[in-house]
Amino acid sequence: MVAKMPPSLNQALATADKQPWYQLLFPPLLEEIYQRDTAAHRIRRYRLFGVIGIVVFMLYGLVDRFYLVDVYQHIWIWRWLLLPGFAALTIFCSFWRRFLPYYEYSVVVASTAFALGLIWFFSLSHMPTAQHYYGGVMLCLVFMMFGLRIPFRLACYSCAVTLAYLGWVLWSLHFLDEAARSLIFILMLSSVLLGLLGLFQLEKEERRSYLLALALQRDHRQLQQGFKYLQQISTVDGLTGLFNRRYFDQQLHTFWERRLQQQVDIALLFVDVDYFKRYNDSQGHQMGDETLIKVAQVISRHAEPWQGCAARYGGEEFVLLLSGCNVQQTMALAEQIRQQVEGLALAHPSSLCSQVVTISIGIAVAHASINQQPDWLVNTADAAVYQAKKQGRNRIVAMHSCQPLAS
Ligand SMILES: Nc1nc2c(ncn2[C@@H]2O[C@H](COP(=O)(O)OP(=O)(O)OP(=O)(O)O)[C@@H](O)[C@H]2O)c(=O)[nH]1
C-alpha cells in the first residue's frame, strides 16, 4: 500500500520519471519511501518462499545417496541440518525488528550458501554422476531470482560468486573432460545471464508501477482538493463567508420538504441593511465591505443553535432560514439580531433613521399545516421587509399565513 505522500515527493517523482532506463534506484527520498512501503510485502515473500526453498533443498537429499554415492554420508549433516538451519534462522530473525535492515542481505547470503553448498557437494565426489548437480545449482539461482525475488544488484553479486566458485571447482575435477566442463559452465552462465535480464525487467516494471501508483495518488489528491475548492466557491459567498444565494435556494427546498415530513414550522428572516448606499457613499466601499462582514457574523451566530441556513441573498440583503422555530421564537431571535447589529455601533452619519448602522428585518413563518409553496416564504419575507422599510426602518415586521403579525 502506498503511504501518505510528503510534499517534496512531487519533485522526486518528476526526477524519477527522467531517470535513464538502466537505473534501478530512485532519488534518495523516493527510494527511502519505496523501500519502506514495499518492505512488509517483500518480507512476507521471503518467509513463505524461504520455507518452500528449505523443504525442496532437503527433499533433494533423498537422491544424494544415488548420485554422490562416495560422499553422501559426509554431507548429510550439511544437507539436512546446517544449511537448512542457517536459512531457518534467517527466517526466524525476520520477526526481530532490529534485524530487519540487514534482512535482505541475510536472505541473499543464505540462498547463495545453498548454491555454493551444492557445488561443494559434487566437488567432494569422485563419481561422474555428480556432474548432474549443476542442475541443482541452476535451480537455486533461478529460485533466488524469481521465487525470493531478491534485488537485482544483490543477485548480480550472488551469481558472480557462484559462477566463480563453479568455474574453479569444474576445472579442478579430474573426472570431467573439457567438453563436459565447458558445457556445464556455458549452461550455467547463460541461465544466469538470462535470469538476471528477467530479474532486471521485473524490478524495473515493479518500480514503474510504484511510480505510477504514487502519481495517481497525487493526481487524485489534487482532484479532490480542486473539487472541494469548486464546491466551496459554488456555495459560499466570497466576501462574508455565508452561504450564497444558489445554496440558499437548494436549502429552501430541503427545509421545505423537512417541514412537510416532520410537520414543523419554518421561518425565513429577510435582513436588509438600512441606507447602505448612503453608507457606501459616505464611508467608502471598503468600510461598506467590512460592515457587511460584521452584520453577516451576527446573523450566522444565530443560525448555528437552530441548525439554520444563513446566506447572503445579494448586495446588502441577507436571509436566515430556520426550521422548527415558531413565530414568537423567530421574532425574539430577530430582535436579538437587530439589537446586536445596532450594538456594533458602526457610525452611519448619513443614515436618516439612526446614528449607527441598523437593519430592517422581514419575517415569514410557514406553519406546518398550511399548504404553500417555498416561493411563498421568500415573497412574504420580502414583502415584510418592505413594510419594515416603509414604517421607518430599524425594525421587524413578521407575517404568517399571508397576514401581518406585528410591526
Ligand atoms: N460595499 C459594498 N456595497 C455593496 C455590495 N453589494 C451591494 N452594495 C451596495 O449596496 C447598496 C444597496 O443600495 P440600495 O439597494 O439602494 O439600498 P439602501 O441604500 O440600503 O436603501 P434601503 O435598503 O432602502 O435602506 C448599493 O449602493 C450597492 O452598491 C458589496 O459587496 N459591498
What would the mean pLDDT of 334-358 be, rounded to a whole number? 96
In the CATH scheme, what is the homologous superfamily, with its name and number, of domain 245-406?
Reverse transcriptase/Diguanylate cyclase domain (3.30.70.270)
At residue 95, the 3 state secondary structure works out as coil
Q: Ligand 1 center to residue 278 CA distance, Å? A: 8
- What is the atom index within ligand 1 of the atom nearest the CA of 393? 25
Q: Ligand 1 center to residue 316 CA distance, Å? A: 5
Residue with cell 399545516: 369
> Does the structure's ipTM exceed the value 0.85?
yes
> Which is it for strands 317-323 and 359-366: parallel, antiparallel or unpaired?
unpaired
Q: Ligand 1 center to residue 342 CA distance, Å? A: 18
pLDDT of residue 406: 44
- What is the atom index within ligand 1 of the atom nearest the CA of 288? 1
Which stretch of DSSP H or E encloses residue 362? strand 359-366
User: Residue 92, Cβ neighbours under 10 Å: how many?
Assistant: 12
Q: What is the pLDDT of residues 238-279, one digit of tens each?
A: 999 999 999 999 999 988 888 878 888 889 999 999 999 999
Residue with cell 554420508: 73
How does residue 101 score in pLDDT terms, banded at 50, 70 and 90?
Answer: confident
User: Is the pTM of the predicted complex or chain greater than 0.95?
Assistant: no
pLDDT of residue 369: 66
Does the Cβ of 285 fall within 6 Å of ligand 1?
yes
Specify the residue with its C-alpha closest to ligand 1, atom 8: 315
Q: What is the pLDDT of residues 308-344, one digit of tens each?
A: 999 999 999 999 999 888 889 999 999 999 999 999 9
Lowest mean pLDDT among 67-76, 258-267, 303-312, 346-355: 258-267
Specify the residue with its C-alpha closest to ligand 1, atom 29: 277
- What is the atom index within ligand 1 of the atom nearest the CA of 280? 1
Q: What percent of the chain has pLDDT over 90?
A: 67
Does the Cβ of 382 fall within 6 Å of ligand 1?
no
Does the Cβ of 288 fall within 6 Å of ligand 1?
yes
Task: Tell me: pLDDT of 402 over 50.
Answer: no
Q: What is the pLDDT of residues 272-303, one digit of tens each?
A: 999 999 999 999 999 999 999 999 999 999 99
Which stretch of DSSP H or E encloses residue 371? none
Is 367 in contact with 260 (CB distance < 8 Å)? Answer: no
- What is the atom index within ligand 1 of the atom nearest the CA of 273? 20
Instruction: Give the type of residue at 389.
Output: K
Q: Ligand 1 center to residue 362 CA distance, Å? A: 17
Cell of 41: 510485502
pLDDT of residue 242: 96
Does the Cβ of 108 fall within 6 Å of ligand 1?
no
Residue 320: phi and psi, rounded to 5, are: -135, 120
Q: What is the pLDDT of residues 142-151, one digit of tens each?
A: 999 999 999 9
Residue to probe by mutation, ligand 1, list 277, 318, 354, most atoms within 8 Å of CB: 277
What is the C-alpha to C-alpha distance for residues 373 and 378, in angstroms, rounded to an integer?
Answer: 10
For the chain, give every residue range classified as CATH 3.30.70.270: 245-406
What would the mean pLDDT of 109-122 be, rounded to a whole number? 95
Q: Ligand 1 center to residue 348 CA distance, Å? A: 14
